[in-house]
Amino acid sequence: MAVYPKKFNFTYHGYSIPCELYPPHPLTKKPKISLSITAGYILKIRAPQKTSHTDLIAILEKHAPKIFQRIEKQQTQQNKQEKLQFTQSEKHPFLGQYYPLNISENVHHKPNVQLIDNTLQINLRQNTPSKIEHLLDSWYHFQALELFSKRILVIKPSIPWIDWENQPPILRIKRMTSRWGSYIHRSPNIITLNQHLIKAPLPCIDYVIIHELCHAKELNHSKKFYALVANIMPDWKIYQSQLKEHSSLLLYNAQPKAEDKN
C-alpha cells in the first residue's frame, strides 16, 4: 500500500518548489490530476495512483508558469497583510465580528477565554503572545465543535438522504488553510469542518455545512449538486462570495484593514 503524502521537489528554470502527492479525493468519480498551493507555498497534487512520476513532472512543467505566477501572487497578498500579534486591545474575529482582546495576567488565574461585554477576555498566569495564541486556538476549537454540532442539528431536517438515526456523520474539526470542509463516505461517514470557519458569519457556516452534507448525495460539483444546495439555501452564492473575499483574514491570522474591523 502506498504511503501518502509522497514528498519531492519540482524544479523549473532554477526555481524549486516542495510538492506533496496525494491520491484523488474520495468524492471524485473520475480521478484526475489537481493542483493547489497551500499557505506554506507547498504544491499539493492529487493524482491517480497509476500516474508515473515522469508523466507527473511533464504535467507540472506544462503548468509551471501558472503555478509560479499563483505562488508569487499569494506571497504578495500575504506580505501586504500584517500578522496578528496577540497583544492587548488587538481585534480578533468570531462569528463575523471583531472583538478586542482584554488580557488579564495573574499567577492565580486559571487560563481561559471568555466573550464578555463585546471583548475577548483572556485570563492567564503569564502574558506572552504564544500563550495567548494557544489559548485562543483552544477556545476557537471548542466554540467550533459546539456551534457546528448545533447547526448540523438545525440543518438535519433539510437533509433526508442521510440516515441520521443509524448512520449519522461524525463531525471532525480541523485547522485547514485551503478548504472549508469535506465529506468522506466511509463507515462511519465523516464531515470535516475547518476550525477557522467559526470566525465567519453564521450564514457562511451554514452554507459550508449544507455544501458538505449535499456531497452525501451528489459526490461531484455537478449541476445536480448545486441545485441540491440551492433548494436548501437559495442565496448560497452570497455566502460563498463572502468566504472567498475574507478567506485570507480568516485562514492566515492576518489583521484586517481599519475600515473592516468594526
Domain ranges of the chain: 6-80, 91-260
Task: Identify the pLDDT of residue 205.
Answer: 98
CA 188 to chain CA centroid, nearest Å: 22
- Which residues face 116 on adjacent strands? 119
For the cut 60, the answer to whether the pLDDT of residue 143 exceeds it is yes
Instruction: Please give the sequence-ordered ranges of beta strands (E in DSSP) within 119-197, or none if there are none.
Output: 119-124, 170-174, 181-184, 190-194
The torsion angles phi and psi of 142, rounded to 5 degrees, stand at -65, -45
User: Buried b vs exposed e over 199-233: b needs ≥16 C-beta within 10 Å?
Assistant: bbbeebbbbbbbbbbbbbebbeeeeebeebbeebb
Pick the more confident residue, 81 or 17: 17
Q: Which pLDDT band, with edges at 50, 70 and 90, does 78 fall under? A: low
Instruction: Please state which CATH class domain 91-260 belongs to.
Output: alpha beta
The burial class, CB within 10 Å (0-12 / 13-18 / 19+), for 43 is buried
Most confident region among 1-15, 82-96, 133-147, 236-250 by mean pLDDT: 133-147
Residue-wise pLDDT for 151-193, tens only, equals: 999 999 999 999 999 999 999 999 988 789 999 887 789 999 9
Q: Can you tell me whether residue 187 is helix, strand or coil?
A: coil
| Mean pLDDT for the stretch of residues 138-152 | 98
Pair 249, 261: CB distance under 8 Å: no
| Mean pLDDT for the stretch of residues 188-215 | 96
Task: Identify the pLDDT of residue 29.
Answer: 65
Q: Which pLDDT band, with edges at 50, 70 and 90, does 24 fall under? A: confident
Q: Which pLDDT band, with edges at 50, 70 and 90, does 209 fall under? A: very high
Q: How many CB atoms lie within 10 A of CB 138?
A: 13
